[in-house]
Amino acid sequence: MKQIFVDYANACPVDERVFEAMKPYFMEKYGNPSSHIISKGNEALTALDESRKTVAEFLGCESFEIVFTSGATESNNLALKGVFFQNIKNCKHIITSSIEHFSITSPLSTLHRDFGVKVSYVPVDNNGFIIEDAFRKALSADTAIISIQLANNEIGTIQNIKSLVKIAKDFNENIIFHCDACAAAGLINFNVRDLGVDLLTISATSLYGPKGVGALYVRKGVLLKPILEGGFQEGGVRSGTENVPAIIGLAKAAEIAKKEMSQRISYLSKLRDRLMDGIEKNIDFVHLTGHRTERLPNHYSFWVEYAEGESLLLMLNHLGVMASSGSACSSNLRAKDEDELIASPVLKAIGVPSDICTGSLTFSLGMKNTEENIDYILEIMPKIVERLWQMSPFYLDRIKGHTPKLTKADK
Amino acid sequence: MADGQGPYSQKVMEHFLNPKNMGEIENASGIGEVGNPSCGDVMRLYLKINDQGIIEDAKFMTFGCGAAIASSSMVTEMIKGKTIEEALKVTNETVAEALGGLPPAKIHCSVLAQQAIEAAIKDYKEKKGK
């Protein structure tokens, strides 16, 4: 059976070139960069320095502004907790949005619960854009940190970070602006100076690099209290022997992404448009989530009335297509009980009614996908949806007065 | 449950992909519709019951996840040919067991199946009482 992976927002295969670049650092160049007096260590340190330079070039900053971490979650935690603990007394208020990743909202909940920090969750509109008026109103003399994502991995919407940074800095230039750019890195062109942010998170996985490695851009002059303390690696901001092979992988992935960005964007957006047009044309009761054009080029997300997300995912998977869903039922199948099943807060935030939004589906495409893949998905999707509709009591009630069109499946 | 096919047992997947007794019964003797507000699942069970109180036919329509659809399918199989008293003895545990087990977070889907039987039989008794 065909295996079609269209869940690149959650995992990417490692690019062969990245894997090749990493290989020597496991068994040959295994030195510890901190032991750079000896040759093995110096070899590793040199490679680490070069990687830092490459990642800095990818983000448009200086090498010393890059801190390597274990990935997006650590970078986000370090950004928020690092700034907070550096200046607890003056950090009374943090602003974020209602559609951030758990690696932003969980540490913020902790800072609120344990330290009494006020956290404002700025709402988004139906397209997933931060409502600028609400953002302006949230700003106060106490605001110390702002954290807003560049793009959303569930609905694909790309924020106008530049404009939000300007609003914030015009209000108070001392506010620290952090941006989680994980979902966007490698898929849209940006650089940290142009965005104007103080801190920015990327991870290697979304760049066809290995899992378990990421970076935090820390603008010169921004001080962070470390979360991990020890041997003073990464300028003391992030102790722990550097994961050299993974960092080499991140750098190689960033180098390739920078070089091939425009090719990727045109290839992926063409495939995405083919998928989006096909589904919208051939299936009734489909609703796009996120903005139609200001979205990641590889990203198509929607929900279908009368069809439930986990069932859609299971049937797609049964036919070899691996996607993702924001439905409560598919949220955490290993949960201990049903209370741990929560529908996507992102869908709720963009105003999808919670009783019908259970049918959400996200296709995030990657460089291994082909036109044939898309055509196969377009062939099976109407049949799957129709099958679930046949089982659905709501659909039955609906069709008693209304016959939907299902052109492709009718053939 | 460990068949390498994801979180569900093979039995659940069989009933999900090829559900038994899916559809509507016109002029059903009893209809039970139950829902789970936490995840939005809704199960509608149709029963055709003869004068001897035997369930001659059972069909379902369900909006929900894989476990909800499989539980619906399984429960219709389990109660067909049974008397209403026997059918009322079907519990969520026996449904889950017949499905080869359900993940803990999905037990509520089999509870829904048990509630659907109770609701359909209640509806039948009410209609009959008229």
Six-digit token pair at A11? 């995992």
Phi, psi angle pair for B70, to nearest 5°:
-65, -40
pLDDT recorded at residue B70: 95
User: Using the beta-carbon criterion (under 8 Å), do A308 and B7 form an inter-chain contact?
Assistant: no
- Residue B73 one-letter amino acid: S
Q: What is the pLDDT of residue A407?
A: 31
Nearest to B70 by CA among B38, B40, B107: B107
pLDDT the model gives residue B69: 94
Chain B neighbors of A340, CB-CB under 8 A: 105
Helix A371-391, helix A244-282: angle, nearest 10: 60
Element (H, E) at A346: helix A345-349
Gap between the Cα atoms of B99 and B1, Å rounded: 10
Q: What are phi and psi of A376, to 5 degrees?
A: -65, -45
- A61 catalytically annotated: no
Of all residues in chain B, the one with the smallest CA distance to A385 is B63
DSSP class of residue A403?
Answer: -
Q: What are the residue numbers of the active site of B? A: 39, 109
Is B16 touching A (CB cutoff 8 A)? yes
CB contact under 8 A, A308 and B41: yes
Contact assignment for A328 to B39 by CB distance below 8 Å: yes
In the prediction, which pLDDT does A397 show? 83
pLDDT at residue A410 in the model = 31
The predicted pLDDT at position B130 comes to 65
Spell out where A117-219 has E strands: 118-122, 143-149, 176-180, 199-203, 214-218
Asked if B38's CB is within 8 angstroms of A328's CB, the reply is yes
Beta bridge partners of A151: A158
Look up residue A283 and give its two tokens. 């299936």
Query: Around Cβ B91, how many Cβ atoms within 10 Å?
Result: 14
In 3D space, the residue among A387, A398, A386 whose CA is nearest the CA of residue A282 turns out to be A386
Determine the longest span between alpha carbons in chain A, in angstroms.
80
Contacts of A335 in chain B (CB under 8 A): 103-105
Q: What is the mean pLDDT of chain B?
A: 90
Give exposure, A192-223, as e/b (b: 16+ Cβ within 10 Å).
beebbbbbbbbbbbbbbbbebbbbbbbbeebe
Contact B61/A318, CB-based, under 8 Å?
no
Do A74 and A101 meet the contact criterion of CB atoms below 8 Å apart? no
Query: Percent helix, strand and coil across chain B, each rounded to 5?
Result: 45, 20, 35
Q: How many residues are listed for chain B in this entry?
A: 130
Active-site residue, from A91, A182, A329, A357 = A329
Q: 10-residue block means of pLDDT along chain A (411 residues)? A: 92 97 98 97 98 98 98 98 96 97 96 98 97 98 98 96 98 98 97 98 96 98 97 96 98 98 98 98 95 98 91 94 77 57 79 71 97 98 95 85 40 26
Residue type, A304: V
Tell me the per-residue pLDDT of B12-37, one tens digit each, with 9 for 90 and over: 999 999 999 999 999 999 999 998 76
DSSP code at position A292: S
Identify all chain B residues contacting A343, using CB atoms and an 8 Å cutoff: 39-40
